Structure 1
Amino acid sequence: MKWSQIPLGVLQTNCYIIENTDQSCLIFDPGSEGKKLINWLTKRSLKPDAIFLTHAHFDHIGAVDEVRDKYKIPVYIHEEEETWLVDPKLNGSKFFTMQNLIQARPADFILKKEEAIKLGDFEFFVYETPGHSPGSVSYYFEKEGFVVSGDALFKSSIGRTDLPGGNQSQLLKSIHEKLLFLPEETEVLSGHGPITTIGEEMDSNPFLNGF
């Protein structure tokens, strides 16, 4: 099983494709440029099984319906942001002048708690990591050694908390209690920017020191 990072859209939001040896795959945060993403998947003969969202800000959801309709696959989101997909005010697209209004149909499955998920041969754990937004979650693949953290934790930084529903103290609590408890070698697949590791952020992230 392996992952690929595909930056999409004007904000270069990282979409992640987790693929198995049988060419089945999961899609995390198809933020924009649906045709580009579909072409990427087609060239590799990959067969998506589902879309999982780390949260519902507009730059993470822009291609949800295009990709969902192409492959006839379900979408998963946390219940705290269940209504954000359909509401440009909640998902933030209403307030960014460079961005068209973003709306998507409601998700097919609602995540309501921290839990282990098994979908085909894919097995991972959902951690609730609010702070950047109320319904932010991180997806931890223990056997593979990586976590899809969305906009919670970045290389040498953390997610912004000045958007509606953001809370910095809550975000720092999420990072320390959920993410920093993972093995130090765990790769952090962030919503923007380069990959990092839990150990690297424990040692050098200026936002986490002194918490």
Structure 2
Amino acid sequence: MKVKICGIRTVEAAQHAVQSAADALGFVFADSKRKITALEAKEIIEALPEHVWKVGVFVNEGAAKIKMIAETAGLTHIQLHGNEVPDDYRSIGLPLIKAVSVKSPDDLKKIDTIKADYILLDSPPAEYRGGNGSSFEWDLAKAIGKSNTNIILAGGLDPQNISKAIAKVNPLMVDVSSGVETNGEKDFAKIKTFINNAKNEREEV
């Protein structure tokens, strides 16, 4: 089971996540309490090993600006978390992750029409497009995880519920942000526990 820790803002949190066996880190460039600049992300990314995904999270941003930020920061993947059409962003030249808000079975029917490298299933947006700490009904996505090998599961995950979520959806990767925070800051103990629980669940399955 691959794990992405999103909303990274410090070198210390990034390195702790990687040492705890995180496979991907997310850097938010959209409006969010976890927003970061390209130069701030660059400083963190330069301290990370090559194999870790460095994912830039954007909401309805233009392809040219995303490409500029990606090149400055050293991103390896682009996460589109708004109303984007992935084909419009192929010019960036990096793998694309497209977020889909899941409220009903109809939302999951859209997945077959999305031409992205990975599909991220998230709960419906609240104040911000992601990182709101609420989950959707995982039973809705049961069939998706079994038939698609490129599913990333997000939305309201935490160390306590991650095993249940993986067992129901069977995603390629799980993505957490607020679920490993205390008082709005990354909690190193929660990060380690979340990653351990996620990876142990896959071994048990």
Question: Which structure shows the bigger proportion of residues in strand conformation?
Answer: 1
How high is the TM-score relative to the length of structure 2? Answer: 0.36
**Quick check: which one's helix share is greater?**
2
Which has the bigger relative contact order, CA under 8 A and spacing at least 6? 2
Give the TM-score normalised by the residue count of structure 1: 0.36
